[in-house]
């Protein structure tokens, strides 16, 4: 589909959208914004100065910077992330102030609703105080939303504090998951800031006027049936990457020089490696990745962000001569376009949900690693339910890495995974066609917002 929404529709209603200022949250919010704009809504984006969006890419939206306008108070630094969300009263006051102005504006269309990232939980009480319906964008899967809503239960059953001897055991309440998957979410106790943040997010999502997921029914039908009754209806599953690519909301310059190199590689031979916008590795792990890629004897394109390796700036710990002729290392890639390139054979991902959905949309099988949060849940789902990936679940060792790459790309065994990835892509394609589940969800969402 087109990456720029058409601009000729007469607009009657406005939607105010408030993304969380991190790449994996900004991308789906802007995909949703473009989609709603293409359906005739005007869009106002509220944003922080920290990780501010590239406004020039969106001449059709209105932007308003809020919350961290005081340069002395850089509230949204990653290190303060969880801490920041807990102390939200001044954020709430600032948001209420801006929303009041927007709601009173006579030059703009009437406002239908506010759509915020689920993690901006404090926005629910602000919206309530202004009688403004708030919808939630949850940037993860339905599956992980359900697991996150059960964190108090999982904690009460003691899963987060089990020692490593229980790692491979099944989680009784979620038989798909192993104890180590649940532990890797990163909760230590229900009293830690992260648990408090998730608890508030779940509570205020339940209080909202609806949830939107970047997903599709054909992928998560079983999970949809398991969403607890106390989550608000209606629910919308929309396959964002099939409507708009995430490239236009990239915060970093995407290296376009890779395409002549990619064009020269054999079809479906390249390992594309990217671990998203936030994950980090130790230097030892970094070197295992590097050696594993070389050992695989396959061409590779590896995204290494500045700061990806703890205590390093960029590539300084790599051995001399790396990556050699077979590989390319870049700081940031046009990911969706790389996944869509015919040379790309497998995506070694950290199992961030946007990356996972982008890979599915292009029919690219995955090697799934995971670091924290929803990633272990996504990795397990891709490997054991959708079966379009192999979960590299026991850390990063060069021999395992090389072996799993060859297993997917070269060995006969990989044929089934490659085929399943193509079948899932076909389902994704059908979902966004007229009459498909994603397409119907878009129409229902538009009708719903119009009715508010």
- For residue 234, is the peptide bond before it cis, meaning its omega torsion is within 30 degrees of 0? yes
Helix (H, G, I), strand (E, B) or coil at 62: strand
| Beta carbon of residue 250, minimum distance to ligand UDX (angstroms, whole number) | 5
Q: Is 204 exposed, middle or buried (0-12, 13-18, 19+ CB in 10 A)?
A: buried
Task: Based on the shown chain and the rule CB under 6 A, indicate whether residue 364 belongs to the binding site for ligand UDX.
Answer: no
Task: Based on the shown chain and the rule CB under 6 A, indicate whether residue 276 belongs to the binding site for ligand UDX.
Answer: yes
| Structure tokens belonging to residue 406 | 């060859």
Residues in region 124-183 near ligand UDX by CB under 6 A: 139-140
Q: For 447, how many CA atoms within 13 A lie in the half-sphere containing its CB?
A: 8
C-alpha triplet 239, 6, 127: angle, nearest 5°: 60
| Structure tokens belonging to residue 5 | 């929404």
Handedness of CA 53, 56, 58, 63 (dihedral sign): positive
Give the nearer residue to ligand UDX in terms of CB position, either 133 or 371.
Answer: 371
Task: Based on the shown chain and the rule CB under 6 A, indicate whether residue 367 belongs to the binding site for ligand UDX.
Answer: no
For tokens 């959905």, the residue is 357
The correct pick among 48, 149, 205, 335 for binding ligand UDX (CB under 6 A) is 335
Give the nearer residue to ligand UDX in terms of CB position, either 330 or 408.
Answer: 330
The correct pick among 34, 208, 298, 375 for binding ligand UDX (CB under 6 A) is 375
Q: One of 117, 181, 374, 378 is an active-site residue; which one?
A: 117
Chain-centre distance for alpha carbon 270: 23
| Structure tokens belonging to residue 277 | 């916008």
- Does the annotation count 25 as an active-site position? yes
The correct pick among 15, 132, 146, 246 for binding ligand UDX (CB under 6 A) is 246
> Rg (Cα) of the chain, in Å, rounded?
22
Task: Based on the shown chain and the rule CB under 6 A, indicate whether residue 328 belongs to the binding site for ligand UDX.
Answer: no
Task: Based on the shown chain and the rule CB under 6 A, indicate whether residue 220 belongs to the binding site for ligand UDX.
Answer: no
| Beta carbon of residue 365, minimum distance to ligand UDX (angstroms, whole number) | 16
* C-beta separation of 179 from 169 below 8 A: yes
The correct pick among 328, 336, 380, 425 for binding ligand UDX (CB under 6 A) is 336
Give the nearer residue to ligand UDX in terms of CB position, either 296 or 356.
Answer: 356
Which range in 41-49, 223-231, 333-341, 359-367 contacts ligand UDX by CB under 6 A? 333-341
Chain-centre distance for alpha carbon 247: 14
Q: One of 25, 91, 155, 336 is an active-site residue; which one?
A: 25
* Residues sharing a CB contact under 8 Å with residue 21, sequence separation 6 or more, in sequence order: 47, 48, 50, 51, 52, 76
Residues in region 288-317 near ligand UDX by CB under 6 A: 303
The correct pick among 42, 204, 208, 274 for binding ligand UDX (CB under 6 A) is 274
Chain-centre distance for alpha carbon 161: 27
Interface map 86-125 toward ligand UDX (x if CB under 6 A): ----------------------------------------
The correct pick among 205, 208, 277, 369 for binding ligand UDX (CB under 6 A) is 277
Cβ neighbours around 389 below 10 Å, total: 31
Give the nearer residue to ligand UDX in terms of CB position, either 28 or 133.
Answer: 28
* Residues sharing a CB contact under 8 Å with residue 17, sequence separation 6 or more, in sequence order: 29, 32, 33, 43, 44, 45, 46, 114, 115, 116
Task: Based on the shown chain and the rule CB under 6 A, indicate whether residue 354 belongs to the binding site for ligand UDX.
Answer: yes
The count of chain residues that interact with ligand UDX, using the rule CB under 6 A, is: 28
* C-beta separation of 160 from 182 below 8 A: yes
Task: Based on the shown chain and the rule CB under 6 A, indicate whether residue 358 belongs to the binding site for ligand UDX.
Answer: yes
Give the nearer residue to ligand UDX in terms of CB position, either 5 or 276.
Answer: 276
C-alpha pair distances (Å), 203 with each of 1, 92, 231: 36, 17, 9
Interface map 15-54 toward ligand UDX (x if CB under 6 A): -------xxxx-x---------------------------
For tokens 């199992």, the residue is 351
The correct pick among 278, 402, 408, 445 for binding ligand UDX (CB under 6 A) is 278
Give the nearer residue to ligand UDX in terms of CB position, either 41 or 308.
Answer: 308
Q: Measured in Å, how far apart are the chain's first and last C-alpha atoms?
A: 28
- The residues annotated as belonging to the active site are 25, 117
Residues lying near ligand UDX in the complex (CB under 6 A) are found at 22-25, 27, 139-140, 246, 250, 254, 274, 276-279, 303, 332-333, 335-336, 352-355, 358, 373-375
């Amino acid at each position: 589909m087109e990456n720029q929404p058409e601009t000729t529709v007469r607009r009657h209603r406005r939607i105010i959208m408030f993304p969380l200022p991190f790449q994996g949250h900004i991308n789906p919010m802007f995909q949703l914004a473009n989609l709603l704009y293409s359906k005739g809504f005007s869009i106002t984006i509220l944003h922080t100065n920290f990780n501010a969006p590239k406004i020039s890419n969106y001449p059709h939206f209105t932007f308003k910077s809020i919350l961290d306008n005081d340069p002395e108070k850089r509230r949204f630094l990653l290190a303060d992330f969880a801490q920041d969300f807990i102390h939200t009263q001044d954020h709430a006051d600032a948001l209420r102030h801006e929303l009041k102005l927007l709601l009173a504006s006579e030059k703009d269309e009437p406002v239908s609703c506010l759509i915020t990232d689920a993690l901006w939980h404090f926005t629910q009480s602000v919206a309530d105080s202004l009688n403004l319906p708030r919808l939630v964008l949850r940037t993860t899967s339905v599956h992980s939303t359900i697991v996150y809503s059960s964190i108090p239960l999982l904690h009460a059953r003691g899963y987060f504090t089990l020692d490593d001897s229980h790692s491979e055991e099944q989680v009784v309440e979620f038989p798909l998951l192993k104890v180590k998957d649940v532990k890797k979410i990163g909760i230590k106790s229900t009293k830690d800031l992260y648990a408090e943040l998730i608890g508030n997010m779940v509570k205020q999502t339940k209080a909202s006027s609806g949830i939107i997921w970047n997903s599709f029914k054909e992928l998560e039908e079983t999970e949809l049936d398991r969403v607890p009754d106390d989550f608000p209806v209606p629910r919308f599953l929309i396959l964002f990457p099939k409507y708009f690519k995430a490239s236009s909301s990239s915060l970093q310059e995407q290296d376009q020089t890779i395409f002549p190199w990619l064009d020269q590689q054999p079809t479906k031979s390249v390992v594309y490696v990217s671990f998203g916008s936030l994950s980090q590795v130790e230097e030892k792990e970094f070197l295992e990745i590097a050696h594993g890629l070389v050992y695989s004897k396959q061409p590779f394109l590896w995204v290494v962000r500045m700061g990806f390796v703890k205590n390093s700036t960029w590539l300084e710990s790599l051995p001399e001569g790396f990556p050699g002729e077979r590989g390319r290392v870049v700081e940031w890639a046009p990911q969706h376009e790389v996944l869509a390139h015919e040379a790309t054979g497998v995506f070694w991902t950290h199992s961030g949900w946007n990356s996972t959905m982008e890979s599915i949309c292009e029919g690219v099988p995955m090697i799934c690693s995971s670091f924290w949060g929803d990633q272990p849940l996504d990795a397990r789902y891709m490997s054991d339910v959708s079966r379009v990936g192999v979960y590299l679940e026991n850390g990063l060792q060069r021999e395992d890495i090389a072996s799993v790459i060859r297993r997917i790309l070269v060995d006969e065994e990989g044929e089934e995974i490659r085929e399943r990835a193509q079948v899932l892509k076909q389902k994704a394609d059908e979902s966004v066609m007229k009459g498909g589940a994603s397409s119907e969800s878009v129409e229902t969402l538009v009708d719903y917002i119009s009715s508010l």
